[in-house]
Amino acid sequence: MAKNNRITLYDLQLASGCTISPFVWATKYALAHKGFDVDIVPGGFTGILERTGGRSERLPAIVDDGEWVLDSWLIVEYLDRKYPERPMLCGDPSVKPLTQFLDGWLWTTVITPWFGCYIQDYRDLSLPQDHEYVTRSRENMLGGRKLEEVQAGREDRLPKVPPLLEPFRQLLRDRKWIGGEKPNYADYRALAVFLWTASVATTPPLTEDDPLRDWLDRGFDLYGGLGRHPGMHTLFGLKLRPGDPEPFSKGPPMGGLASRNTGPQSTRAETERITKGA
């Protein structure tokens, strides 16, 4: 049982002290959701094995009254199992698989392109002692390409990403949180993608008027502004150029699950369009 309500979290930080890892971000929110006070063990990419006494090469890791738990997913399972009397992170059985799907979709859809757009920033913002390791390991991840070469030309690629987030905007259109009236682990896992982005994005990835802004701002403000570290960058302010795609859908929701069939009146405009090309 957490002594004095405190749990230790091994963080993965940039030189500014802000968390970079989306896995650690999701864990910070999970601990706050469960109502714990957190003792942060600071540090960057190098020396993780030494800091954790040989226990882990990856972060996050937590220590709860002497009990080590590694891996963000196992940490969440541990917290709900050990503290079921506190607000559940994944209360319903469907939350876990749907959260894993959403996380996987966000990685493919936005983290992959944004990784290529911010990878040089990611290295430059890391702790000085991490630069060499981050350069070598990330260049290996990118098939041997130089970080500078991968990031170059991002002004042409960044405007192509916001339209891809439309299904996620639809998800949040009619609800306050993915979890309903209150956020749950699906919210934290999705927020973590944008918290990671804000930790490295020296130029914004989303337009000022992106409808996701409301959920993102409320999410960053949770738990006393947990996502508002001064080292973070704004996500909003992407400037579009002529020829760039519309960043998000501005029309009314149409078709499929985006609108409700409440009789012919509700589908007439769509029917006209698909039958007459109006």
Residues found near ligand GSH in the complex (CB under 6 A): 12, 21, 23, 45, 58-60, 71-73, 137
Q: 207 Cβ partners below 8 Å, 6+ apart?
A: 162, 236, 237, 238, 240, 247, 248
Buried b (16+ CB within 10 A) or exposed e, 206-225: bbeebbbeebbeebbebeee
Toward ligand GSH, which CB reaches closer, 45 or 215? 45
Q: Least separation, in Å, of the C-beta of 204 and ligand GSH?
A: 22
d(CA 110, CA 182) in angstroms, rounded, equals: 25
Place of tokens 């990671």: 196
Which helix H or strand E contains 9, and what residues bound it? Answer: strand 6-10
Q: Which is nearer to ligand GSH, 141 or 258 (CB)?
A: 141
Least Å from the CB of residue 60 to ligand GSH: 6
Closest separation in Å from C-beta 241 to ligand GSH: 32
Of 20 and 212, which CB lies nearer to ligand GSH in the complex structure? 20
Sign (positive or negative) of CA dihedral 6, 7, 8, 12: negative
Other residues' Cβ atoms within 10 Å of the Cβ of residue 242: 4
Tell me how far, at minimum, the Cβ of 23 lies from ligand GSH, in Å. 4
CA atoms within 13 A on the CB side of 236: 9
- 59 vs 90, beta carbon nearer ligand GSH: 59
Find residue 68's DSSP bridge partners.
Answer: 63
Q: Which residue, 103, 82, 60, is CA-closest to 2?
A: 82
Nearer to ligand GSH, 72 or 184 (CB): 72
Residue 29 CB, nearest approach to ligand GSH (Å): 14
Closest separation between CB of residue 81 and ligand GSH, Å?
17
Give the residue with the Cβ less far from ligand GSH, 59 or 190: 59
